[in-house]
Amino acid sequence: MGEISLKNALRMERYRLDSKQKVSLKSWNPNDTSGFDGDETAAEVELKKLRHKLDALQEMLFIEGKRSVLIILQAMDTGGKDGTIRRVFEGVNPTGVKVAHFQQPSQEELSHDFLWRVHKQVPAKGELVIFNRSHYESVLVERVHKLVGRKTWHRRYKLINGFERELSEGGTTLLKFYLNIDRNEQKKRLEERMADPTKRWKFSLSDESERKLWPEYMKAYEDALGETSTAWAPWYIVPSNHKWYRDLMVAVVIVKTMEKFHMKYPELPMGTSHERSSKARTKSPEG
Domains of the chain: 6-266 (3.40.50.300)
Q: Which pLDDT does position 55 carry in this prediction?
A: 95
Nearest to 70 by CA among 254, 285, 223: 254
Q: Which amino acid is at 159?
A: L
DSSP assignment of 198-251 equals TTGGG--THHHHHHTTHHHHHHHHHHHHHHH--SSS-EEEEE-SSHHHHHHHHH
Q: What is the pLDDT along the chain (287 residues), one digit of tens a residue?
A: 344 454 555 567 889 998 878 999 999 999 999 988 889 999 999 999 999 999 999 999 999 999 999 999 999 999 999 999 999 999 898 888 999 998 888 889 889 999 999 999 999 999 999 999 999 999 999 999 999 999 999 999 999 999 999 999 999 999 999 999 999 999 999 988 888 776 655 666 667 788 899 999 999 999 999 999 999 999 999 999 999 999 999 999 999 999 999 998 888 776 665 544 545 454 544 44
Q: Which pLDDT does position 6 carry in this prediction?
A: 45
Q: Which pLDDT does position 3 carry in this prediction?
A: 46
Instruction: Judge whether 198 and 98 are in contact, CB under 8 Å.
Output: no
Alpha helices per DSSP H over the chain: 6-12, 40-64, 81-88, 107-110, 116-119, 141-144, 150-169, 183-195, 206-211, 214-228, 243-259, 273-282
Nearest to 143 by CA among 222, 27, 32, 69: 222
Residue 270 CA to residue 151 CA, distance in Å, equals 58
Helix or strand run (H / E) with residue 19: none
Q: Which pLDDT does position 11 carry in this prediction?
A: 67
Q: Which pLDDT does position 274 carry in this prediction?
A: 53
- pTM, two decimals, is 0.89
Residue 236 CA to residue 256 CA, distance in Å, equals 14
Q: Which pLDDT does position 124 carry in this prediction?
A: 96
